[in-house]
Structure 1
Amino acid sequence: MYEKYYGFKDRPFQLTPSPNWFYASKLHKRALAYLQYGLSQGEGFIVITGDVGTGKTTIANQLLSQLSKDEIIAKQIVTSKLEPDDLIRMIASCFNLVVTEHSKASYLDAIYNYLKRLHSQHRRALLLVDEAQNLPLASIEELRMLSNFQFNGKPLLQSFLLGQNELNAIVQAPNMEQFRQRIIASSNLSAFQLDDTKAYIQYRINQAGGETTMLQDDCFALLHRQSKGVPRKINTLMDRVLLYGYLEDKQQLTCEDIQLVIEEINQEIANVAPEQSLPSIQQPQQAISSQTTLSSTLNSVIEEKLRLLQEMDELLKKQHKALQQREDKTQ
């Protein structure tokens, strides 16, 4: 909406991760270097962790954009709470493998034969597992077992794990010692400091073809404080700021403009209806009562919406019938 107004060739703060928008902060450079180092080793695990929105997936996409398909076949999966057998099936599916029997043994055999075939072509497979903190311990152990696939002493599959900070606790579990011994490098992404927040915003504006002078210099401290230096939060906030500037016909944005947008966002959050909020932690009996009330309220809302939909449907039918009769008269 505001792209043409500011002379952007694209939205500078879109949420979808893209290699073209990769900002290499010091920590991101280090994490990417670990991934590249892991590739050069061709074995073991690389583990990249960080809070939500700190750029783990962006780094993975940046790495994938640099790979040569003539050497490495890379696939990325985003995991939910997959049990080991389901994980094996997902891995087989992401490499487009077809099995005749839907048993774990058949899937493992198909994966192994595929990896050997790549090896004979002087290529290898790379698996990036995003949101790896969702995996049960048994599924992470299954990944370790897949790393045992070898041919003539050469590992056939390498895996990179990307996950939120909870993944660190999972990896440090007492029964994960064998997995930890396979980790050749790990890195943790944290939020930006003020300097990086400013550089990140200016980089994105430049990449989109805009002028960084559109933001007064004192805006960056406020943007950093509100977003806590988390790239995804910066994107969300800046997107709203630019929309505000477009609607208010402002080519240059001030600290006061940023504050107005922040207050507007906070007001929207404060205006969320109580019945749409999750019940707070209460005593057991109070929690049950609260959940019952919430369920009753939601049911009432659903029933009301269904009633309105039925009324709209009846109205549309009447309008259609009237139009049909009018057409019949004109014929």
Structure 2
Amino acid sequence: MDSEQFAKFFGLRERPFTLLPDPDFLLWTSAHRRAFSVLEYGLMTHAPITVITGEVGAGKTTLLQKLISTIDEGYVVGLISNAQGNRGELMQWVLSALDVPYDMNAPYVAKFQLLQQFVIDRYSEGSRVVLVIDEAQNLSAEGLEELRMLTNINANKDELIQLILVGQPELRDMITGPKMRQFAQRVTATYHIPAMDRETTGRYVWHRLQHAGGTGEEFTSEAIDVIFEKSAGVPRLVNKLCDFCMVYAYSNDERTISASVVEEVLADGIYLSALEFSDAAE
């Protein structure tokens, strides 16, 4: 199936429900606006650590991309995704994200000094360093503590390096634990993005369809009822199910996705939701 042919069948310019994060498709729900405001607040106030959490597919990475695209030239931004490893390995991720040359065999102290000098040099030039860590729930407690130590690089009252951590709810559980008290004290701003309710899910589907050149009416209200029930309002799961539904409608030569099309997708078992696995485990 050709993507262009598929989009043309529904009168669209492009496929509206891909799983790739795309800031252009972002629906600014009230929760996303609050999360973005918290990110902006963190930058504006030079917060040492800002934390945003949300379920898988809640739009966190898309928000990050939107933020990075709007940051002015006064900031040097380093982005780390899925960082893991022991003490010292995280420092290599940090240096690489900021394009700082380093010797992999150098001791940790030498790498830290490289980072410190880079941050101080940027500050002397009128810039601040922002380190963004996506999927931060993959970090260990030791890794989080290593990040906290980076915020000790400062000049008088100015924070020279700011951290933005984005991750799944487990990240929030980690930093609120008793062993992470020092880390939590450095967190100035935090926000958790909840799943969408039924009304917001409908607006989300409508928004993505219209942004792709559609009318927004390609899915019936009854179809969205079922999609919301099966996805629990998690954007990535909504995208996944909607995309399958459009493929089925295309193969049936139908330009409207009804509840029966959604039920057909579900009956065939090609849509697998992590929610179903978690329910089964309970």
Same fold at TM > 0.5: yes
What's the CA shift string for 1:77-132, capped at 9, x where partnerless? 11343222100111001111112562211211111111112112211111111111
Given the alignment of the two structures, is residue 185 of structure 1 paired with residue 189 of structure 2, yes or no?
A: yes
For residues 242 and 79 of structure 1, the distance between their equivalents in structure 2, rounded to whole angstroms, comes to 31
Coordinate RMSD, CA, aligned: 1.7
Residue type of the alignment partner of 2:99: N
How far the C-alpha of 1:24 sits from its partner, in A, is 1.1
1:99 aligns with 2:93: no
C-alpha distance in 1 between matches for 2:15 and 2:257: 17
CA distance in 2 between partners of 1:175 and 1:216 (Å):
50
- Distance, in Å, in 1 between the alignment partners of 2:217 and 2:176 is 47
Q: Which residue matches 2:276? A: none
**What SS does structure 2 have at the residue aligned with 1:214?**
coil
Contact 2:47–2:187 (8 Å) recurs in 1: no
Q: Identify the match of residue 124 of structure 1 among 119, 123, 128.
A: 128
Residues in 2 aligned to 1:209 and 1:45: alpha-carbon distance in whole angstroms:
39
Which structure 2 residues correspond to residues 137-152 of structure 1 after superposition, within 5 A?
137-152=141-156
Does 2:81 match 1:81? no
Q: How many residues align?
A: 269
Instruction: Read off the aligned partner of 1:264 and give its amino acid letter.
Output: D
- Inter-partner Cα distance in structure 2 for 1:220 and 1:59: 24
* Separation of aligned partners in 1, 2:148 and 2:221: 49
Paired residue for 1:260?
A: 264
SS of the aligned residue for 1:235 comes to helix
| Matched-pair identity in % | 30
In the alignment, the residues of structure 1 paired with residue 136 and residue 83 of structure 2 have an alpha-carbon distance, to the nearest angstrom, of 8
Letter in 2 for 1:150: N
SS in 2 for 1:8: coil
1:196 equivalent to 2:223? Answer: no
Letter in 1 for 2:80: I
- 5+ residue gaps, structure 1, are 270-279, 282-331
Deviating more after overlay: 54-63 vs 77-86: 77-86
In terms of fraction of residues, the more helix-rich structure is 1
SS at 1:186 equivalent: strand
Query: In structure 2, how many angstroms separate the alpha carbons of the residues matched to 1:99 and 1:261?
Result: 51
Partner residue in 1 for 2:255:
251
Tell me which residue corresponds to 2:235. 231
Please state how far the C-alpha of 1:152 moved relative to its aligned partner: 4.0
Cα shift at 1:158: 0.3
Q: Which whole-Å deviations, capped at 9, do the CAs of 1:184-233 have from their partners, x for residues lacking one? A: 11111121100000000000001101121222222211110111111000
Whole-Å separation in 1 of the counterparts to 2:196 and 2:102: 46
Q: Using CA pairs below 8 Å that are at least 6 residues apart, which structure has the higher relative contact order?
A: 2
* Partner residue in 2 for 1:25: 29
Q: Partner residue of 1:14?
A: 18
Structure having the higher Rg = 1
TM-score of the two chains, using structure 2 as the length reference: 0.90
**TM-score normalised per structure 1:** 0.77
Aligned match of 1:304: none
SS class of match (2:88): helix
Structure 2 SS opposite 1:213: coil
Cα distance in 1 for residues equivalent to 2:134 and 2:86: 15
Q: Distance in 1 between matches of 2:128 and 2:18?
A: 33
Q: Contact 1:80–1:134 (CA<8 Å) still a contact in 2?
A: yes
CA distance in 2, matches of 1:216, 1:168: 37
Give CA deviations for 1:250-272 in whole Å, capped at 9, x if unaligned.
Answer: 11221212211221235x76xxx
Matched residue SS, 1:200: helix
Whole-angstrom CA distance in 1 between matches of 2:102 and 2:221: 59
Question: Once structures 1 and 2 are overlaid, which stretch shifts more, 227-236 or 144-153?
Answer: 144-153
In structure 2, what is the Cα distance between the partners aligned to 1:179 and 1:10?
A: 44
Q: 1:279-298 alignment to 2 at 5 Å?
A: none
